[in-house]
Amino acid sequence: MFNSLEMVWNRVPTCIKCGKEPITFVRYNGSHLCEEHFLEFVVKRVRKEMRKQVDLDGKERLAVTLSGGKDSSVALSILAETLERRRGLTLLAITVDEGIACYRPGTMEKAAELCRDLGVEHHVIRIADEASRTMDEIASKAGVKSACTYCGVLRRRCMNKLARDLGADVLATGLNLDDTAQSILMNFTRGDVEKLARLGPHTRVQAGLIPRIQPLRLIPEKESLMYAVLRELPFSSAECPYAEGALRNEYREILDGLEDRHPGTRHAILNSYDAMRPHLLEAYPPAELKACECGDPTSGGLCKSCELLEEVKKIG
């Protein structure tokens, strides 16, 4: 009896799918997975989210925001593999060059390399062309606001503009589970319920705005990194020099601690949000939009990007 218990206690873990040696243990569902079945585990969830988030029938052009980092590279790779035999649908990659001298050139090289490997059209838009300033220049005059405040708004403007100019029907981002759970928690703690209702994936199409989807919405950041490494995807692990002061970092630390002590916390936050989302969408219908002087849609006088650029001009 004791020998039997000792054998069970000392048993080497095996992949729950095939019995091979595992490369990872998924704490939030208690499963060991070998390389083959880990990769399959990621791809299945991405494809499930795609089917859930968007109906591609009648769609002709799907754009993917590609930063050159691990998450967007994983998203583009899986979508390219998934959609390669779908007739009538063109996959495009969009990269925003923020103008951060010590960071962006290297990531753009990786983005271009991946697009060449996958045979995907690659298009670049520069914040300097839209705002007459690079992010390095804006950051030097940002004042009390963090550089991330300006960058986030201007990046979204550039992504939407280029996707619209390219005739894209849908815009896919590389936001992963960690990003999504952090955004939900941030808006809860700030009491910004209306912004919660506007979080992607977007099911409503508004004039001038390309609806965004999030294929990696169920994929934790560590799994995205592992997938990119195992598939030997070209990607940059460099971090933006301005990210250190971002408010999001505080929420990342909180969620990382909770997830470490209570595996599945991030999924629970996302599941709770999804249960409430239909009621949020009903309570906060889309605002009526009009054209800003720059041409972008806005609910007020100036769009947010124009407001921030006006602030930068006043600073000098």
Q: How many residues does the chain have?
A: 316
Q: What does the buried/exposed string (b/e) look like for 92-110 if buried means 16 or more CB atoms within 10 Å of the residue's CB?
A: bbbbbbbbbeebbeebbeb
3-state helix/strand/coil string of 117-179: HHCCEEEEEEHHHHHCCCHHHHHCCCCCCCHHHHHHHHHHHHHHHHHHHCCCCEEECCCCHHH
Strands 212-213, 170-172: pairing is parallel
Q: Which of 282, 259, 257, 286 is closest to 270 using CA atoms?
A: 259
Query: For residues 206 and 296, is the Cβ–Cβ distance under 8 A?
Result: no
Helix axes 248-261, 177-190, angle to 10 degrees: 110
Task: Measure the CA–CA gap between 94 and 113, rounded to whole angstroms.
Answer: 13
Q: In a structure prediction context, what are the per-residue pLDDT tens digits for the chain, which is 316 residues long?
A: 445 545 445 577 999 999 999 999 999 999 999 999 999 999 999 999 999 999 999 899 999 999 999 999 999 999 999 999 888 999 999 999 999 999 999 999 999 999 999 999 999 999 999 888 899 988 887 655 678 888 888 999 999 999 999 999 999 999 999 999 999 999 999 999 988 988 889 877 777 789 999 999 999 999 999 999 999 999 999 999 888 777 889 999 999 999 999 999 999 999 999 999 999 988 988 777 777 877 777 777 788 888 887 877 776 5
Query: For the chain, first and last CA: distance in Å?
Result: 80
**pLDDT tens-digit map of 251-273:** 999 999 999 999 999 999 999 99
